[in-house]
Each structure stands twice: as structure tokens, then as C-alpha cells.
């Protein structure tokens, strides 16, 4: 935008374990993420924040190749738009994941409710293609809502590099 480059997102670690529950086994599904990302800020600007978040909950087999999940989440964020040095939030992450012939398709809803009154919610539809063991291509359509800014819709094409 404006012929300027800026960092949008840098995930230092992102792990999600979605093991389906059944009558015999009741495993806990969980996720953890940390890094930098741009979030809606004051005056409809985007602010680069550092964050760590995680959560736990359950995953259920809805069909042969379809999983549904619901996780409660906790987020800690350093945001220059907030008065506090570190701001905590509670929230949720829920969705449906379909393993299809092209890769993985997911529909997700997320929300973070900060103790200072800020609320962020998002809906996203993602198709991930696994190009190799360490390389993926993702097409995402996302709508974000925040108390600090107007709703924003994005369509993104991302290259994902994984290091195990």
C-alpha cells in the first residue's frame, strides 16, 4: 500500500493438535501460537503487535474426512495502542476441517475478548495445498471485526514454509 513494504505476520511457532474424541478415548485438542502480526488499530490503522496465545478443547469426527473443533483460548499481547504493557484476553476458536483431494479446507470463527474492553472476531475460509512436506500454498478469504476499527475483508494467497 502506498509503495511501502511492511511485515504483516511472522509466526515463530504455530502448533495445533486436533485429535478426535470417541467413546473410548477423550483426548484434549490444543494449539499454541507466538509471533508478530498486524491487528486493527486506532483510526483504522493496523498495528504490529507481539503475541502468545494458546487454547484447549475438543475435536469430533463429523464424517469420514471431516472434523469439527471447539477450543477455549487465552492470548497475551503487547500492543502500543493499549495503555497496558501486556494485555490479556480470553476467547474461542472453532471450526470445521475437511481433508479433500486438493488438501485441507477449513471454515473457522475466532474471538478474543481483552480485559481492557477491546473485542476482535474473525471468520475465515481457507484452502491449503501441500506442495511438499515443508511447503504449502494457502488461499484465504477472511472478515475481521474490531471495536477499534471498521470491519475489514481480505483475500490472501500465502506461501507457507514449515520447519520441523
pLDDT of residue 1: 66
Is this structure's pTM higher than 0.85? yes
Distance CA 29, CA 97 (A): 14
> Whole-angstrom Cα distance, residue 56 to residue 94?
11
116 contacts 84 by C-beta, under 8 angstroms? yes
d(CA 85, CA 21): 39
**Predicted confidence pLDDT, tens digits, the chain (164 residues):** 678 888 888 989 999 999 999 888 899 999 999 999 999 887 778 889 999 999 999 999 999 999 999 999 999 999 988 889 999 999 999 999 999 998 999 999 999 999 999 999 999 999 999 888 889 999 999 999 988 888 989 999 988 888 77
> What residues does each domain of the chain span?
9-161
- pLDDT (0 to 100) of residue 89: 97
Amino acid at each position: 500500500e502506498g509503495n511501502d513494504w511492511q511485515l504483516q505476520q511472522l509466526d515463530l511457532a504455530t502448533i495445533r493438535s486436533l485429535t478426535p474424541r470417541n467413546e473410548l478415548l477423550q483426548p484434549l485438542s490444543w494449539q499454541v501460537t507466538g509471533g508478530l502480526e498486524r491487528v486493527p488499530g486506532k483510526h483504522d490503522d493496523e498495528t504490529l503487535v507481539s503475541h502468545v496465545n494458546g487454547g484447549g478443547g475438543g475435536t469430533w469426527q463429523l464424517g469420514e474426512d471431516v472434523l469439527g473443533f471447539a477450543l477455549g483460548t487465552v492470548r497475551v499481547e503487547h500492543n502500543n495502542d493499549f495503555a497496558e504493557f501486556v494485555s490479556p484476553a480470553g476467547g474461542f476458536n472453532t471450526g470445521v476441517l475437511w481433508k479433500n483431494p486438493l488438501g485441507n479446507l477449513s471454515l473457522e470463527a475466532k474471538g478474543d475478548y481483552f480485559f481492557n474492553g477491546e473485542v476482535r472476531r474473525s471468520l475465515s475460509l481457507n484452502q491449503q495445498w501441500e506442495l511438499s512436506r515443508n511447503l504449502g500454498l494457502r488461499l484465504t478469504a477472511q472478515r475481521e471485526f474490531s471495536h477499534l476499527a471498521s470491519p475489514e475483508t481480505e483475500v490472501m494467497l500465502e506461501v507457507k514454509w514449515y520447519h520441523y
